[in-house]
Amino acid sequence: MAQKAAPSPEPAPAKDDPLVLIVDDDAGMREAVVDLLQSVGIEGRAFGSTAELLAAAVPDRPGCLILDVRLPGLGGLEFQTRLDSLGIALPIVFMTGFADVPMSVRAMKAGATDFLIKPFRDQDMLDAVDAALARDRSRRSQRAATMTVESLAATLTPREREVMAEVVKGRLNKQIAGDLGISEVTVKLHRGKVMRKMQVRSVADLVRKVEVLDHEE
C-alpha cells in the first residue's frame, strides 16, 4: 500500500527492513505471495519475468528472491547461475508447479535456500523466507565488516602494505628491515602508521582484521 506515499503516520518502510523480490509469470501467484508476506509485515515486490527484475531499480536492502523455476525468457535455474556470475549473492527460494528431483537437487547444490512445490503451505513459504533473510543478514554483516577493513587498508601506501603483511606474519622489525632492505627505524615508522590507519592498537587486533580480508578473497 504505502509504496510511494508521502510521509504518513503509518510505519514507513525503513531502509533496512527486508525486501523480498518475487518473480513469477502468474499474476495471481505474485499477488498471493506479496499478500502473504505482507501479513507478517514483510515488504514484497513482484515481477513477471527475470528481465523485468533486472531492468528495475532495486534498492540495496537486505532481502531474498522468490523465483518460479519456469519463467518466460531466462528460467529460474539459469537466472540463479547468472546472478552468481554477476556476484549477486541474494538467497533464493524456488517455487514451482512442475519439478523433478534432479532440478531441485541442482538448485540446492547451486546454493538455493529452499525449493517449494506449488501449491505450498503458507507456513512453509514463510519459514523459507525467514531462513533466506537470516542468511542474507549474516552475509551482509560479514560483507560490511570486510568492506570496512578494505577501506581502511586502501589508505595505506604500498610500503605500508608490505610492512603490514610482514607484521601479520609475525616477523620482527629487524627481520622486516632486512627483507625490505631498509633500516629498522623506518620499519617502526611504517608500522606505527599502519597501526593508526588500520585503527588497531595491538598486533593481535591487526591480525584479526587482516584475516577477514584474505578469508573472503
Interacting residues toward a copy of itself by CB under 8 A: 99-105, 108-109, 114-115, 117, 167-171, 200-205, 207-208, 211
The rounded distance, in Å, linking the Cα atoms of 191 and 175 is 13
Q: Which residues of this protein are in contact with DNA, per CB under 7 A?
A: 157-160, 172-174, 177, 180-183, 185-186, 188-192, 195, 203
By a kind-dependent CB cut-off of 5 to 8 A, residue 195 interacts, out of a copy of itself, DNA, none, with DNA
CB of 65 to a copy of itself, least distance (A): 17
- DSSP letter string, 78-112: HHHHHHHHTT----EEEEESS--HHHHHHHHHTT-
Nearer to DNA (CB atom), residue 39 or residue 183: 183
Nearer to DNA (CB atom), residue 57 or residue 154: 154
Nearer to DNA (CB atom), residue 137 or residue 188: 188
96 within 8 A of 123, measured Cβ to Cβ: no
Grid cell 518473480 in the structure block, residue: 23
CB of 170 to DNA, least distance (A): 9
| H or E element in which residue 93 lies | strand 92-96
Q: Which of 96, 70, 67, 72 is nearest to 83 (CA)?
A: 67
Residue 103's SS3 state is helix
Question: Which DSSP category does 187 fall into?
Answer: H
CB of 168 to a copy of itself, least distance (A): 6
Residue 82's SS3 state is helix
Question: Which DSSP category does 96 fall into?
Answer: E
Nearer to DNA (CB atom), residue 42 or residue 177: 177
C-alpha distance from residue 77 to each of 6, 25, 45, 181 (Å): 38, 15, 20, 54
Nearer to DNA (CB atom), residue 97 or residue 192: 192
CB of 192 to a copy of itself, least distance (A): 16
CB of 101 to a copy of itself, least distance (A): 5
By a kind-dependent CB cut-off of 5 to 8 A, residue 173 interacts, out of a copy of itself, DNA, none, with DNA
User: What does the buried/exposed string (b/e) look like for 70-91 if buried means 16 or more CB atoms within 10 Å of the residue's CB?
Assistant: bbeebebbebbeebeeeeeebb
Nearer to DNA (CB atom), residue 21 or residue 176: 176
CB of 191 to DNA, least distance (A): 5
